Each structure stands twice: as C-alpha cells, then as structure tokens.
Amino acid sequence: MGTEESHDDHGHHLPAVEDWPRGFGEASWWPFVTAVGAASVYVAAALYILGQSNSDLVGPMVGPATMVVAVGIFLAGLYGWVYHAFVSHFWSRESSGQSANKLRWGMLAFLGSELATFGALFGYYFYIRAGNWGSIFVGIPTLTGSLVLINTTLLIASSVTLHYAHVAIRNNKRKKFIGGLLGTLLLGIVFIGGQVYEYYEFIIHESFTLTSGIFASAFFGLTGLHGVHVSLGAVLIGVVTLRGLLGQYSADRHVSVSTASMYWHFVDVVWIFLVVVLYLGAEVGA
C-alpha cells in the first residue's frame, strides 16, 4: 500500500487503511471492535448485578450506562464490518462462484452454531419437562390464542415473499425483487410488534413473567432469543432492501441476498418448532 492510489482506495472506510500486519493483505479492525462490544455486554450485565446489591463499589446506573456504550460499540463495529466486507466497491470486485460459495458456507457454519444454541435451550426444556410433566404448567395463561396463529402466518408469509424476491433477482426482475423485499420487511416488523404485544398481555394482564416458574423461564428464554434473531434478521433484510434500491444486485451478484434468505428461513423454521413444542406442548401437558 505504498502508492497514493492505494490510500485513496481505502480511505473512506477506516480503520482498515493499510496492510497490517505486513504481508497478510488488507487488515480490518472492525471484527475486533465488534468483539469488544459483544464482550462488554457481559461486563455491563455483571456491573448491573453488582449495582443492584448493597455493595458501594458500583452505583446502580453504572451497569445500564455501560450497556448502552457496549451496544453502541457492537453496532458500530458490526456496521463497519458489514460495510467493509460487502458494500464498499461492490461493482468493482470480481464476481466468482468460489467466493460466493465461501460466503454461503460461512453462513451455514454460523447457522450451525445458532442451531447448537437453540438446541441447548430446547434440551433444557425437555429435561425439566421429563421430570415434571404436569406440574410445570400450573398457573400459565392460554398460549394457543389467535395471536400466535396470526404471528405464525405472518412469519411463514414473509419466507414466501423473500423466496419470491430471491427468484426475481436471479431473473433480473428488479421491481418484483424490491417488492418482495419490502413485503418481507413489513411482515417481519409486524411479527416483532405482535410478539411485543403478546409479552405485554402476558406480563401486564396475566401476571405471567420470567419469574413465574420453570416453564415461564423456558418460554421467555426461547421466544425472547427467537425475537432477537428475528430483529437481527429484519436489520439484515433492511440492509439488503436499501442496497437493492441503490441497484447493487443483479442476476450475477446476489450472494448477500442468498445468505440473508438462508438466515431468515432458518428463523422461520425455528419459530414453527417453538410453536409446536412450547405453545401446543403446553396445552397437551397441562
């Protein structure tokens, strides 16, 4: 990176501005920034716990303040990482099947780790249910109402519209592609709103909270984790939609559409499993 042209080429997405370490290609500090932000979330949680105790070492607002900073660092690092890896110089980069396959396999590896995370929580739930078939369901509200049916329909419909958009861009039908993405994003946002409303009903009107028992902890833990994943997926779809509006996809260049679709369909399948195991399972076991 000894020439002026090389510096101009990378000056707009700091901190990756030069080859470092030497000989290893362009290095980026964004993954490190993202990791620091993620690790700081755990530090903030520990400070919050200390702040709620009678200890004079940490004030009650130190934990929440640290959490805000940690989330800010994490989001900034994630933005820089994604921008640097996928957005900058989109059309000037070489398009090859080999690089696209690497990204798809990377997403598959990530989804494998997500599957392990959900699998561990489901394993916890099955363990406690095996020991207490009926008693863990005492005092829970009715879960299989119209709201969960509406939410499930919305999420399944969003997978259909995303598949429609993916097929459209592969055929260079840009208007249908954008329409499918906007429909998916809208359905995802409405689903998130529906889950927030469901929590409101359970917590405020039914007094069903995280501390209401073993089943409650499993229910809010699993559905809350899934809600976080849907929110992240909505952000990904939003980024893809914005890039689509800027004309950054074609029939030959749509690998990030493919990887975002893989993530969204995974979240959809997990939700269906959650409905069967938690919502319907609670009705059967009660």
* 82-134: pLDDT as tens digits: 666 556 555 445 455 555 566 667 677 777 878 888 888 888 788 777 765 55
Same domain, 78 and 103: no
Q: Encode pLDDT of 17-48 as tens digits.
A: 333 334 334 456 777 787 888 788 778 877 87
How would you class 267 by CB atoms within 10 Å of its CB: exposed for 0-12, middle for 13-18, buried for 19 or more? buried
| 177 has a pLDDT exceeding 90 | yes
Question: Following CA atoms 112, 118, 123, 128 in sequence, which dihedral angle do they give, to the nearest 10 degrees?
Answer: 180
Tally of domains in the chain: 2
The three-state DSSP-derived secondary structure of the chain is: CCCHHHHHHHCCCCCCCCECCCCCCECCCHHHHHHHHHHHHHHHHHHHHHHHCCCCCCCCCHHHHHHHHHHHHHHHHHHHHHHHHHHCCCCCCCCCHHHHHHHHHHHHHHHHHHHHHHHHHHHHHHHHHHHCCCHHHCCCCCCCCHHHHHHHHHHHHHHHHHHHHHHHHHCCCHHHHHHHHHHHHHHHHHHHHHHHHHHHHHHHHCCCCCCCCHHHHHHHHHHHHHHHHHHHHHHHHHHHHHHHHCCCCCCCCCHHHHHHHHHHHHHHHHHHHHHHHHHHHHHHHC
Does one domain contain both 127 and 256? yes
89, 120, 141 - which closes a domain: 89
Is the domain of 16 the same as that of 151?
Answer: no
Would you state the pLDDT for residue 15?
42
pLDDT in tens, 67-78: 889 888 888 877
User: For residue 263, what are the domain limits?
Assistant: 96-285
pLDDT, residue 56, reads: 72
Give percent above pLDDT 70 in the chain.
Answer: 76
pLDDT computed for residue 21 by the predictor:
39
Q: Per-residue pLDDT for 198 more than 60?
A: yes
Please tell me the predicted confidence (pLDDT) of residue 92: 46
Predicted local distance difference test score (pLDDT) of residue 103: 64
* Per-residue pLDDT at 48: 77
Q: Which residues contact 17 (CB under 8 A, 6 or more apart)?
A: 7, 10, 11
Hey, which of 45-54, 60-69, 127-136, 210-219 has the most confident mean pLDDT?
Answer: 60-69
Quick one: 253 and 271 in the same domain? yes
Q: Residue 136: what pLDDT?
A: 63
On whether both 109 and 206 belong to a single domain, the answer is: yes
Half-sphere exposure of 160 (CA within 13 A, CB side): 7
State residue 270's pLDDT score.
Answer: 93
Residue 11 pLDDT: 41
Query: Residue 145's domain is classified under what CATH number?
Result: 1.20.120.80
Which of 89, 116, 136 is at the close of a domain? 89
The pLDDT value recorded for residue 99 is 56
Asked if residue 82 and residue 134 are part of one domain, the reply reads no
Question: What tokens were used for 174?
Answer: 């840009």
> Looking at the structure, do residues 209 and 142 belong to the same domain, yes or no?
yes
pLDDT at 190 over 90: yes
Answer yes or no: do 9 and 130 share one domain.
no
Average of pLDDT values for 191-205? Answer: 91
- pLDDT per position as a tens digit, 216-270: 888 888 898 898 889 888 988 998 898 889 888 888 778 888 888 989 999 999 9
